[in-house]
């Protein structure tokens, strides 16, 4: 199965972002992609760089956004993984991935479960924690374990999706460098990010897809300079082998072929799920064991 | 703190193995190592390549082994992580790491929790599952999260050790290639093995130490040719960066300096432990969610 990840540079005009994304979806669909993955909060700039109530206005279009992307999925006959700003009620918002079936119906949604809150990533201001759990979404191209960005650092979320039958793990994401960090620190951060996601593939014997933003976005509050999103969107197979990757500076459509037979091959030689010591994992539900 | 990993080629004579290990420990101690890590089941060949009751005789010396390695730790004034064949009772054996304090006392032991059972690795024949849980061992050089080989594929064991305060994760291990596999498959396996252990460092913000066998050992049953243990012992820092690594073909003492300040630095910029969704992890204690 051919898939496509759209790694995009955002700008301040929502409409321009969306128009460009739609053009790239059309192109990817024409090139045979059956599943298209967009980056985290792809409609707009990454507004969580600062905490400002004005940005909640971006979520006012939530219901219209659903109708819009439904039409795009149907028009291009693709399963589409979007990442939207959900206005659940006034004053109650989620960072939500909505997956559309290729007929335009909603296959399912995932509300980001692990919410970061760090300099430049003030997501706890904007988003309440997801309450839909780690539930894979059944589509015509397979059962998709959609997670979002910060989730990628948690082996627990990858494992839970896999235990529930996810056939692919998918991470729309928005992560980048601060220019003031050293080259060595930047490399360590990028390598850690790739490594831990490849490890989710290995631990669970499933392919992993990670679709990241690219390019510099200024901090509109002026407190920090901004974030240089590091691109490097990638796909790895169930053994963790990189089979497609984008660079750190260019917009691109990244294509990959997912071979559904690989999960059986890899899990048969490395049957990790067989030997889990579930009788001894109870403390995983503790904050800390002190 | 300076540590040393002893990556060794085994042969069929237990006494020769042990003598060589002791020489290497002396050398590492003279070179300033305060903590020395030995490979999995370092006293003997990797006998689990076949299932044969004769190999249980290797465990007859269990109590003498404890006395012997206690003396070696004391004589060299090092904290010593050994990996022994524990005869708990007749017909009841464990794959057990015993950690000796630098005065020769037993600091603690860990009984391997995840037991493999795959062609060439028939450990379920020899070892019953560990029943001491994932408990770090307090020593004069820190709280050691000692795990063994197959455990390294399980994010759960690394997490549990970390939640209980482990300051370093340590894996004595015995893993290698089958010569009949392709070069590409061998690379994938080695890369997966390194990647998932580096990911445990990243997920938990702790350094990881992995000490593997090296060199070819034939299958004494003649069913398979044997295993070419791939060496590649390594140490990575709490961000997953490789700070020391051995090659795939030579015996060696691998030295590394563990900087205890790095865990705080890394966990402060990436506070993953803060955001775990412990309210939603209950299904991790299930075999599968179907």
B150 touching A (Cβ < 8 Å): yes
ipTM for the predicted complex = 0.97
A276 touching B (Cβ < 8 Å): yes
What is the pTM for the complete model shown? 0.98
Provide Rg for chain B, Cα atoms. 18
Q: How far apart are CA B161 and CA B143, in angstroms?
A: 10
B266 touching A (Cβ < 8 Å): no
Domains and CATH numbers, chain A: 2-275 (3.60.110.10)
Residue-wise pLDDT tens digits, A140-198: 999 999 999 999 999 999 999 999 999 999 999 999 999 999 999 999 999 999 999 99
- Of B77, B230, B92, nearest in space to B149 by CA: B230
The confidence band for A11, taking pLDDT boundaries of 50, 70 and 90, is confident
Summary count for chain A: helices (H), strands (E): 6, 15
CB < 8 Å to A280, chain B: 113, 133-134, 160
Residue-wise pLDDT tens digits, B206-244: 999 999 999 999 999 999 999 999 999 999 999 999 999
| pLDDT value of position A12 | 84
Q: How far apart are CA B76 and CA B28, in angstroms?
A: 9
B156 touching A (Cβ < 8 Å): yes
CB < 8 Å to A113, chain B: 277, 280
CB-nearest to A156 from B134, B271, B281 is B281
Q: Say yes or no for a CB contact (<8 Å) between A281 and B276.
A: no
Active site residue A112: yes
Q: How far apart are CA B239 and CA B261, in angstroms?
A: 12
């Amino acid at each position: 199965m051919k898939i496509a990840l759209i790694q995009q540079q955002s700008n301040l005009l929502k409409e321009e972002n969306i128009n460009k994304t739609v053009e790239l979806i059309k192109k990817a669909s024409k090139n045979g992609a059956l599943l298209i993955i967009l980056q985290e909060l792809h409609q707009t700039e990454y507004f969580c760089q600062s905490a400002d109530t004005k940005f909640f206005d971006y979520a006012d279009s939530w219901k219209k956004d659903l109708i819009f992307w439904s039409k795009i999925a149907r028009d291009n006959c693709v399963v589409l993984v979007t990442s939207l700003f959900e206005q659940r009620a006034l004053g109650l918002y989620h960072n939500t991935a909505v997956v559309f079936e290729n007929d335009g119906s909603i296959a399912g949604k995932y509300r980001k479960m692990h919410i970061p809150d760090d300099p430049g990533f003030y997501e706890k201001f904007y988003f309440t924690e997801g309450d839909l759990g780690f539930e894979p979404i059944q589509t015509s191209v397979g059962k998709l374990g959609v997670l979002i960005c910060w989730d990628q650092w948690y082996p627990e979320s990858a494992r839970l999706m896999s235990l529930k039958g996810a056939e692919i793990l998918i991470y729309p994401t928005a992560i980048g460098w601060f220019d003031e960090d050293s080259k060595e620190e930047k490399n360590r951060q990028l390598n850690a990010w790739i490594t831990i996601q490849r490890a989710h593939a290995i631990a669970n014997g499933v392919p992993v897809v990670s679709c990241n933003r690219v390019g510099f976005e200024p901090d509109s509050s002026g407190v920090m300079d901004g974030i240089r999103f590091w691109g490097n969107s990638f796909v790895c197979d169930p053994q963790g082998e990189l089979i497609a990757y984008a660079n750190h500076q260019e917009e691109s459509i990244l294509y990959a072929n997912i071979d559904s037979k690989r999960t059986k091959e890899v899990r048969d030689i490395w049957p990790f799920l067989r030997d889990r010591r579930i009788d001894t994992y109870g403390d995983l539900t503790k904050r800390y064991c002190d």
